Chains A and B, each alone.
Chain A
Amino acid sequence: MSDSSIADSAASPSRWWAWQSRYSPYLFVAPFAILFCTFMIYPLTRSFALSFYKTIGPRDSRFVGFENFKFLIADRLFWLAAANTIGYAIVFPLLQIPAALGLAVLLNSKRVRAKPVFRFAFFSTHLVGSVFAAVLFAQLMSPRSGLLNHFLSQLLRRPIEVNWLSDPNLAMVSTLIAGLWLSVGYAMIYFLAALQSVDAELYDAAAVDGAGNWATFFHVTLPGIRPVLIFMILVTTIGAFQLFELPYVLFQQSAGPLSRALTIVMYLFMSGWSVGDLGYASAIGWTLVLLIVTVALVQRRISTKLEES
């Protein structure tokens, strides 16, 4: 190794010196590697094994083969959770990505003044954790005194009393509103950073060619930020599949009216720690993995197809 030869020529070619130059990389990685294997790889394999057991708490377990997965397929609550989660994972990125990208394109314009103010205003919501946002939105959405209904009443000039939190049909809508508030600004900052890295010469060339604004957007801007765009869509979708805190706290640590805000992770949590069946919770967890991997593969397929065409 070149490292050790250099160490030999150095001022103190002591034994300690040779030892540390040889073993340092192992020592540097060791703390991480040990914790990684103990607290990630091992629990991962245990979770896999547990999904074939029925358990009552961490002590009592019984091998049941594929029973958990069979039960899952017939479990109406799981299907409700899956429907809610998948619906959210479809609608949320469809609203968030265009809104964030649109705002980023606007903010990237040379004509816009007070950019740091806007940037901070948009980004500030990301500093609020989902639990705190849920506590806040539960008040904003309260039917009588909440700001949201007051605002709607003023806008429509008649008293509006939407039951954001007790109407089963609105449960996921309310979650969506709070979710968008939390994350549009954050995604926008990402897009803004990507937009700023698009080569300015390309814009000049497009202007010389007499390309219109829309043409420029579709032929220069979008291809220029494609990697970030694909990455953001993927991350947003995967994040949406893991929805939990926001609805859980918004509906006072419950699954909402008629369980209409039940999500997959929420069901996993309730099965594992309210019911106490870690085995079933694991089965739900691995089903979520399957779902997310499928979605990631499909999105990858689509993006490569689009790139070819």
Chain B
Amino acid sequence: MRSSPAGRPASAGRSQSSSSSFLVTALLHIPLILGAIVCTVPMVWLICATLKTGDDLFKYDFLPWDHLGRLTLDNFRKLLARDGFSRWLTNSIFLACTQTVLVVTLSSLGGFALAKYRFRGQKPLMAVMLLTLLLPGQVLLAGSYELMHHLGWINSYAAILVPGAVSVFGMFLFRQAMSQVPDELLHAGRIDGCSELRLWWDVALPIVRPMVGAFTLMTFIGTWNSYLWPQIVLQDEAKYTLPMGLANMMSLPEFQADYGVLMAGTLLSILPVGILFFVLQKDFIAGLSTGAVKG
């Protein structure tokens, strides 16, 4: 899909008669509308599938318009009655929340130190950090697994939370954002008797608030959706996270035919991220744009 001739920056437009300008405007919208449909239809289909009975799943692509009375919440009821799903949901919420708090705290504190202080070992530390940023995470897997084994952390959440608290990307992100905190403000804070820790919490963090929101959302999405590492270290099905549980559920023969329950599970797995996005949307777009400009 290349940008069509109609897709040129409008500010370069010449004066045109109103009818041809209307045509251009309409043409501009067509690829956008098609794209938006392609992006949203799978989600709409998913929502419809969760509300249908087993028979209607195969009879109607979307909703049974002539029999709307047949719509049901049975799929959700069946799903939540299963022992597994609600447990995976709880696990995922616990892990993603804890992980996000850990990562955001550690990264903002460390990023603050990197941006606003000079200290011994700073340069070598940042050089090594930069180097690891270039490596694909998967190369760590074998070494990390071995370490988890020696620590006895296999099948425990420590194996996910403790190594996951490290975010080199987050450190650099906060370093960049906090370098814009004026030094005068920090000095003024010191004169007023703020400890360095309070300078971080009361001065620096509020200034980079949009960054905090954006990074919180990014981290939450990342942890919520992570699959490979939990799959490696968690063995007990009761400890599974949603991606693991759902991937397994999908292979069960009972859901091959009656996939409404599976779709209900998928919807409930996506929903928390969607809600969080709505709450933090403004910060996220702002954080994204500042990142992109600097990128």
Contacts of A125 in B (CB 8 A): 39, 43
Contacts of A214 in B (CB 8 A): 5, 8
Chain B, 244-268, contact with A by CB distance < 8 Å: what is the 0/1 string?
Answer: 0011101100000001001100100
- By beta carbon, the residue of chain B nearest A282 is B142
Which of A3, A200, A244, A245 has a CB less than 8 Å from the CB of B190?
A: A3
Whether B78 is near chain A, meaning CB under 8 Å from some CB there, is no
State A211–B112 Cα separation when bound (angstroms): 46
Whether B179 is near chain A, meaning CB under 8 Å from some CB there, is no
Which of B58, B134, B250 has a CB less than 8 Å from the CB of A145?
A: B58
Contacts of A289 in B (CB 8 A): 135-136, 139
How many of chain A's residues touch chain B, expressed as a range? Answer: 35 or more
Whether A190 is near chain B, meaning CB under 8 Å from some CB there, is yes
B12 and A211 contact, CB distance less than 8 A: yes
Contacts of B139 in A (CB 8 A): 44, 47, 282, 285-286, 288-289
B149 and A129 contact, CB distance less than 8 A: no
How many of chain B's residues touch chain A, expressed as a range? Answer: 35 or more
A118 and B190 contact, CB distance less than 8 A: no
Q: Which of B24-32, B64-72, B79-87 has 4 or more CB atoms under 8 Å from chain A?
A: B24-32
B246 and A132 contact, CB distance less than 8 A: yes
A42 and B143 contact, CB distance less than 8 A: yes
B143 and A132 contact, CB distance less than 8 A: no
Contacts of A105 in B (CB 8 A): 3, 7-9
Query: Known contacts A29-B119, A252-B251, A286-B139; is A6 also within 8 Å of B246 by CB?
Result: no
Contacts of B196 in A (CB 8 A): 20-21, 24-25, 28
Contacts of A145 in B (CB 8 A): 57-58
- By beta carbon, the residue of chain A nearest B31 is A106
Query: Known contacts A29-B110, A145-B58; is A36 also within 8 Å of B129 by CB?
Result: yes
Whether A88 is near chain B, meaning CB under 8 Å from some CB there, is no
Contacts of A137 in B (CB 8 A): 42
Chain B, 133-166, contact with A by CB distance < 8 Å: what is the 0/1 string?
Answer: 0111111111111110110000000000011011
A101 and B263 contact, CB distance less than 8 A: no
A50 and B129 contact, CB distance less than 8 A: no
- By beta carbon, the residue of chain B nearest A286 is B139
B35 and A103 contact, CB distance less than 8 A: yes
State A141–B2 Cα separation when bound (angstroms): 26
Q: Which of A71-79, A156-164, A265-273, A301-309 has 4 or more CB atoms under 8 Å from chain B?
A: A265-273
A217 and B113 contact, CB distance less than 8 A: no
Q: What is the CB-to-nearest-CB distance from A277 to chain B, in angstroms, rounded to a whole number?
A: 9
Q: What is the CB-to-nearest-CB distance from A128 to chain B, in angstroms, rounded to a whole number?
A: 5
B8 and A228 contact, CB distance less than 8 A: no
Contacts of A29 in B (CB 8 A): 109-110, 113-114, 119, 122, 125
Query: Known contacts A105-B8, A217-B8; is A124 also within 8 Å of B40 by CB?
Result: yes
State A265–B137 Cα separation when bound (angstroms): 10
State A101–B162 Cα separation when bound (angstroms): 38
- By beta carbon, the residue of chain A nearest B148 is A58
User: Can you name 9 A-B residue pairings with CB atoms under 8 Å?
Assistant: A39-B163, A43-B140, A44-B143, A106-B3, A110-B10, A127-B221, A145-B58, A190-B292, A207-B11
On A, residues with C-beta under 8 Å from B are 3, 6-7, 9-12, 17, 20-21, 24-26, 28-29, 31-33, 35-36, 38-48, 50, 58-59, 98-99, 101-103, 105-113, 117-119, 121-122, 124-132, 134-140, 145, 147, 150, 181, 184-185, 189-190, 193-194, 196-197, 200, 203-204, 206-207, 211-214, 216-217, 220-221, 227-228, 231, 238, 241-242, 244-245, 249, 252-253, 265, 268-269, 272-273, 278-279, 281-282, 285-286, 288-289, 292-293, 296
